[in-house]
Structure 1
Amino acid sequence: MDETSLKKIQTIIFDYDGTLHDSTANYIAAFKMAYNYLIENKKADPREWKDEEITKWLGYSSKDMWGNFMPNLDVEHQTAASKIIGEQLLKKVLAKEAILYTGALETLGYLRDKGYQLIFLSNCSEKYMNAHRQAFQLNQYFEDMYCTETFDYNAKYKIFELIEKQYKDNFLIVGDRIQDFEIGHYHNLVSIGCNYGFGSEEELQQSDLRINDIQELQDIL
């Protein structure tokens, strides 16, 4: 990638889970609770889970997660299980048990102070986004915050088409999943992949540049 591409960047779109927020422990606990509900209702068989088998769903919208994980599960139980996950994650935020990656807020502050427009775009619900907005005072850093629920869980690259004209040209995408890098592919934008997040090696290879720590952005930009 040509370094001059980074020098032209004016607006940075950030994913959240796996990029700024380390949701590993909280999501695993919530997922297991939802799966136990399905077992109790005879919709799933008991089994042991490896952490990576669960965290691979982070970054997916609820709709896409269930469509891939248990596509034959009826809508009623999908909805109930999703509600369990969502409620548990909200409880963790309200209990101040949500954790950002080390240096995440400092990096956002650094980029904001350098004049970049920062945009939040996450595959999450509005309640989840707003709870984190309040918990970490994210309005201090982001010019705008968007979640896919607001757009009927459309793909991020499609949402980008609806919002891009509001911001300065020359966008940079920072995330950890294919849903983030698709924005770059469809719109010819530079993307940075977060090795520490939840994306597979195959997904991360779709990014233009990769980092091992969110704080590396302070050296790159």
Structure 2
Amino acid sequence: MILKSDVLPEAMIFDLDGTLFETESVLLEAYHKAFDRLRQEGFYEGETPPQRLILSSLGMLLEQIWEVVLPAADSLTRQHANDWLLHYQLELLNSGKGRMYPGVLPTLRRLKDMGIRLFVASNGLEEYVKAVIRSQGMSRLFEGLYSAGEFQSATKADLVGRLLGDFGITSAWMIGDRKSDVEAGAANGLVVVGCQYSGFSGTGELAGAQYRISAFSELESLLP
């Protein structure tokens, strides 16, 4: 039995990768293309690092991701890896690839119809975050798309705090699949909904979330 909230939130703030967007639907192909390009340009030798490294790093800030994937690489190599990964992700998104999790679009439309303000807060790059939302035809649903890449936020908690202040929001839910989402919600006094369907979360990573959902559409069932 899922317990309902007693209060309808003024706003909902969503993580992107692993919460709204099935990241691997473009990430893995772009990942392999990026390393092919790095080898061609002489920045990298050997086999492409295992996919599990990039997948387990989703939700981290970019510099943290490359510390996991390329721990022995210098800053120039990591920057080239980052640039080519973004390039190929955008290329794939613009070609029509990529998909949201089941139920995301109709659920968001109903939430907006209820008068709930919708936002995205992601640790990703600005171009990527906006390209995902635009490619899925969802731009009109969101009042703001906040990314660590655009605002150079040190933590997701800082990013969410800035969003709340910019829009004058006093009551909101934070919805995400990683520890950084739980921490961002807790630091800003928000209700946290942990998403368990992506498979990216580690054991205990969603501890502290007031609610947990196994499918995006379950979000509506938490509302009064």
Is the alpha carbon distance of 1:69 and 1:54 closer, same or farther for their aligned partners in structure 2, counting shifts above 3 Å? Answer: closer
Hey, what's the Cα distance between the residues in 2 that align with 1:133 and 1:38? 28
Cα deviations by residue, 1:135-167 (Å, 9 ceiling, x for unpaired): 123222111111111111421101122221323
TM-score, scaled relative to structure 1: 0.88
- Cα RMSD (Å): 2.3
What's the offset of the Cα at 1:21? 0.6
SS at match of 1:202: coil
Cα deviations by residue, 1:84-128 (Å, 9 ceiling, x for unpaired): 111111111101111111111111101101111111111221211
SS at match of 1:121: strand
Write the mapping of 1:36-185 to structure 2, written as runs, cut at 5 A.
36-38=36-38, 41=42, 43=44, 45-46=46-47, 49=50, 51-165=51-165, 166-185=167-186
Cross-structure match for 1:212: 214
Residue 216 of structure 2 aligns to which amino acid in structure 1? I
Write the mapping of 1:17-32 to structure 2, written as runs, cut at 5 A.
17-32=17-32
SS at match of 1:154: coil
Is the alpha carbon distance of 1:109 and 1:77 closer, same or farther for their aligned partners in structure 2, counting shifts above 3 Å? Answer: same
Unaligned runs of 5+ in 1: none
What's the offset of the Cα at 1:12? 0.6
Is the alpha carbon distance of 1:205 and 1:52 closer, same or farther for their aligned partners in structure 2, counting shifts above 3 Å? Answer: farther
SS at match of 1:12: strand
Unaligned runs of 5+ in 2: none
Which is worse superposed, 154-163 or 12-21? 154-163
What's the offset of the Cα at 1:23? 1.4
Hey, what's the Cα distance between the residues in 2 that align with 1:121 and 1:188? 16
Higher share in helix: 1
